[in-house]
Amino acid sequence: MSLEVDIHHGQGAFTLNARFRSEGRLTALFGRSGAGKTTLVNAIGGLVRPDRGRIVVQGRVLLDTAKGIDVPVHRRRVGYVFQEGRLFPHLTVRQNLLFGRWFTPRRERAADVDGVVELLGIGHLLGRRPGTLSGGEKQRVAIGRALLADPRILLMDEPLASLDDTRKAEIYPYIERLRDEGRVPIVLVSHSVPEIARLATSVAVLAEGRVAACGPAAEILRHPELFPEPGPAEAGALVETRVLRHEEAFDLTILETGAGPLTVPRLDLPVGASLRVRIRARDVILALERPEGLSALNILSGTVTEVAAGEGPSLDVTLDCGGERLLARITRKSAEHLGVAPGRAVHAIVKSIAFDPQVVTRIPRGE
Amino acid sequence: MSAWLSPEEWSAVTLSLKVATAAMAGSLVPGIAVAMLLARGRFPGRQALDALVHLPLVLPPVVVGYLLLLIFGRRAPVGAFLAEHVGLVFSFRWTGAALACAVMGFPLLVRAVRLSIEAVDRRLEKAGETLGAHPAWVFFLVTLPLILPGILAGMVLSFAKAMGEFGATITFVSNIPGETQTLPTAIYALTQVPGGEAGALRLTLISVALSMAALWASEWLARRVRRRLAS
Amino acid sequence: MAPRRLSKLFRTAFAGLVAAATLSAPAVAQDKGIIVFAAASLKNALDEANAAWQRETGRKAAISYAGSNVLAKQIEAGAPADIFVSADLDWMDEVASKGLIDPASRTNLLGNALVLIAPKDEGDVGALKPGVDLAVALKGGRLAMGNVAAVPAGKYGKAALEKLGAWESLKDRIAQAENVRAALLFVSRGEAPLGIVYRTDAASDPGVRIVGTFPEGTHPPIVYPVALTRTAQPDAKAFLDFLRSSKARPVFERQGFSVLDRPVSGS
């Protein structure tokens, strides 16, 4: 059992009452702002002392108010990557990285310095000072610094929140590598569904200070009602797929899904690999008849299950395609003209090019 | 230099430097400790400590000198104890002059360091703890380097105050050439004697030059440290 | 710390240094009352006389005490004193030579004796006669006295020690204070094992004990001249006359001064 949390904490008008367990390699703590995610993570790290409760990490009791156990921060061996990085400005990157190592008892020093540096791609930054680094570089150094302190668990509190999408996209692969190749379980706080969909092996959803749901990512992500409606650009569906074959001649990969085959740009994955794919509502076109002579390669057939009012001119249509739930965003005008209503049989059309690397993520091993 | 200054004047200069340096060095650790207590501590009597530290700023220097006599004099409780058990004597010695200067400059040192401490991002200290550093280590490896500019500023103020201290010194340990006759008291003595104005002026120029040198040195140091922290 | 703030503090420190070179004397009253500059050793006696004058006339003088050398310099610099009482003739002469006093009003008011003191539970030196060895009695400590170049008590003390042949062995073992009361304080606190002050000072402080009186021949006679300054207010003469009257005499004698002046007629 890598993480066991059961705490109660009152902070002004807000009460946190969180109970959950997690085994996964990367547990995402999801919730809206104000749901209590940071308080929860701070409690695990020891930066906040809950009114009462129990926290166990890798079998080691860090907090047990009933027994009077409260391990001080510097002895918890909990690595913490902060949203603002918090690198020491008066030290070089190398000195920052090695800071925690010095305080780790020699016999417990297992982290491989060169390995971590290589994993995070920060080798060329070692002599620099934090003030000269970009946001993305700072966060990678912060992750490295936390790792090199040989923690038993790695906490990340929205570490990428202050970065723009391009930077985030740069760092995601590093976190994935960490998740897959590192030996330390990770707890990642996030309010971004795409981020969680991509990175998490298990998810705990926090709402108003309570854990609304907790379990393997694939499970939890199937229940969109748990996740507050993301911004208009983000609405979409998650589809579990498997690599069927590659079309080398055209740099394409064919994925097998419950809704039918999906053709996407070539992925560097072996046949049979499992994949979770996100199809954005704005990328889905609806047709009453199966179209001919269309450039789009993905035509899935399904039935309308729900039509919901969208923003202004648009509508969100929920489809069932062979058991997979898909979302399509179309204009109200078209919906009316086509007579889109629950029960209607339709075809969903998705361009292959719509599947960019941001929405495609390999399902983590061990899930 | 020795041709320009008489031996007594020269000894006043070297004594002043010695006394000011000792005063500054001696108040450094207590000053940082008290500044930490005042900036971070939450204990009953914190206000009282704050007021006590600022007393030398608001009391007439002669009164401070008198209080020093009462506490650190040959027969006084602390003075007698130190003389007997530590071998530290203040009575009519340069150590007494250094103590007077240190006490008078202490509030300036504490204020400068405290300001710096209050400006430290405490989240950095917390980050240090999450990396396994005991709070004491965090102080030495994280806090201390970050408050270095404040410490430097405080040291310069302490040194400059010591170079100019008069009232407390002359009341506590009088004006003994070679032992307690620092620049200010030497200048004073020269103005009391007819024909001493020339010597007084020479010494005044020297003390101005010394103070400006100390000021310039501290500005240069502080700039270097700030550059290192910002880069 | 911003350079501007630091240089402002430096300017203040520098101003303080320059001011220190002229030692701030006790504040002088700004109102229209009579201002008296008096030697430090007169403090107890003059305060009492002042109180007596107030009881009699309802008026009160503001008295500033310091070493006579300091007071003389202040008068020369234009301080608004009405009456000057010096502890020796030199400093009164100095001020007179600059034309700053009313020569007609000058008289020798009081006399004093010079004594050797020790903290009340210490020290015995034997008789103060030529050949006395005071260095031994110091036991490594210092002899507190007024500044020997400027303060009257210091000048008298040096003269006396020279006459006794003890100056050479002692001159590196003295602690010079800027007025005789400061020297008294050092002995009273036990800082200095011996000190040279006026007999009147020794009498005023129970913390010290007289261990010897310097014979009169060893130093110039200790005379306290008094005079009105040239800029004195008309009122000031009344106070001066009071000080010379037979009413003030017992006050001075009680403190240990010898009254040299003949009483002003009619009192």
C88, two tokens = 């020796």
Is it the case that residue C266 has pLDDT exceeding 50?
no
How far C1 CA sits from the closest chain B CA (Å)? 7
Q: What DSSP element (H or E) covers B190?
A: helix B183-192
**CB contact, 8 Å: A92 with chain B?**
no
Say if pTM beats, i.e. exceeds, 0.95: no
Residues A50 and A182 in one domain: yes
C-alpha to C-alpha distance for A334 and A336, rounded to whole angstroms: 5
pLDDT of residue A364: 53
Residue A59: CA atoms inside 13 Å, Cβ hemisphere, count? Answer: 0
Question: How many CB pairs below 8 A link A and B?
Answer: 69
Any domain includes A367: no
pLDDT per position as a tens digit, A275-330: 777 787 888 899 999 988 988 889 999 999 888 875 678 888 888 888 888 888 88
Asked if C23-111+223-259 and C114-218 have one fold, the answer is yes
Residues A311 and A209 in one domain: no
pLDDT per position as a tens digit, B79-126: 989 988 998 889 889 999 999 999 999 999 999 999 999 999 999 999
What Rg do the C-alpha atoms of chain A give, in angstroms? 23
Report the domain count for chain A.
2
pLDDT per position as a tens digit, B23-71: 999 999 999 999 999 999 899 999 999 999 999 999 999 999 999 999 9
Output the CA torsion sign for C19, B213, B102, B34: positive
CA angle B225, B230, C5 (to 5 degrees): 60
- What percent helix, strand, coil does chain B show, rounded to 5? 80, 0, 20
pLDDT per position as a tens digit, C64-81: 999 898 899 899 988 899
pLDDT per position as a tens digit, A97-128: 999 888 888 777 777 888 888 888 889 999 99
B214, two tokens = 């100390």
B126 contacts on A by Cβ (under 8 Å):
47, 73, 86
Mean pLDDT of chain A, nearest integer:
84
CATH number, residue A262? 2.40.50.100
Q: What percent of chain A has pLDDT over 70?
A: 92
Residues A205 and A279 in one domain: no
C30, two tokens = 């700004």
Dihedral Cα C77, C81, C87, C88, nearest 10 deg: 60
Cβ within 8 Å, pair C176-B200: no
pLDDT average, residue stretch A204-219: 84
Residues A88 and A208 in one domain: yes
B150 contacts on A by Cβ (under 8 Å):
none
Residues A261 and A182 in one domain: no
CATH for B7-119+133-230 is: 1.10.3720.10
Question: Do A52 and A8 contact (CB within 8 A), yes or no?
Answer: yes
C-alpha to C-alpha distance for B216 and B220, rounded to whole angstroms: 6
pLDDT per position as a tens digit, C105-131: 999 999 999 999 999 887 666 677 777
Q: Which CATH number fits domain C114-218: 3.40.1190.20, 3.40.50.720, 3.40.190.10, 3.40.50.300?
A: 3.40.190.10
Nearest neighbour of B191 by CB, restricted to C6, C22, C190: C22
Residues A257 and A337 in one domain: yes
Is it the case that residue A153 has pLDDT exceeding 60?
yes
Residues A200 and A310 in one domain: no
Side chain identity at C44, as an amino acid letter? Answer: N
**CB contact, 8 Å: A191 with chain B?**
no
pLDDT of residue A365: 46
pLDDT band at A361 (very low <50, low <70, confident <90, very high): low
How far B132 CA sits from the closest chain C CA (Å)? 32
Q: What DSSP element (H or E) covers B48?
A: helix B46-58
Cβ within 8 Å, pair A76-B130: yes
From residue B24, alpha-carbon distances to B109, C75, C201 in Å are 9, 38, 38
**CB contact, 8 Å: C6 with chain B?**
yes
How far B3 CA sits from the closest chain C CA (Å)? 23
C-alpha to C-alpha distance for B216 and C10, rounded to whole angstroms: 11
Lowest mean pLDDT among A20-24, C34-38, C124-128: C124-128
Residues A87 and A131 in one domain: yes
From residue C101, alpha-carbon distances to B112, B155, C98 in Å are 51, 49, 8
pLDDT of residue A180: 83
Cβ within 8 Å, pair A82-B131: no
Question: Do C82 and C232 contact (CB within 8 A), yes or no?
Answer: yes
C-alpha to C-alpha distance for A262 and A250, rounded to whole angstroms: 15
Q: With touching defined as 3+ CB pairs under 8 A, do chains C and B touch? A: yes
What ranges do the domains of chain B cover? 7-119+133-230
State whether CATH 3.40.190.10 applies to domain C23-111+223-259.
yes
Is it the case that residue C28 has pLDDT exceeding 50?
no
- Residue keyed to tokens 């500019």: B149
Any domain includes A231: no
Question: Do A327 and A284 contact (CB within 8 A), yes or no?
Answer: yes
pLDDT of residue B133: 92
Which domain does A323 fall in, by range? 236-362
What ranges do the domains of chain C cover? 23-111+223-259, 114-218
C-alpha to C-alpha distance for A299 and C126, rounded to whole angstroms: 125
Q: What DSSP element (H or E) covers A336?
A: helix A332-338
Side chain identity at C37, as an amino acid letter? Answer: F
pLDDT average, residue stretch C215-220: 89
Question: Do A9 and A51 contact (CB within 8 A), yes or no?
Answer: yes
How far A126 CA sits from the closest chain B CA (Å)? 14
B204 contacts on C by Cβ (under 8 Å):
17-18, 21
pLDDT band at C197 (very low <50, low <70, confident <90, very high): very high
Lowest mean pLDDT among A225-234, A341-350, C1-10, C212-221: A225-234
pLDDT average, residue stretch A59-84: 90
Q: With touching defined as 3+ CB pairs under 8 A, do chains A and C touch? A: no
Nearest residue in A to B137, CA atom: A103
pLDDT band at A360 (very low <50, low <70, confident <90, very high): low
Question: Do C94 and C239 contact (CB within 8 A), yes or no?
Answer: no
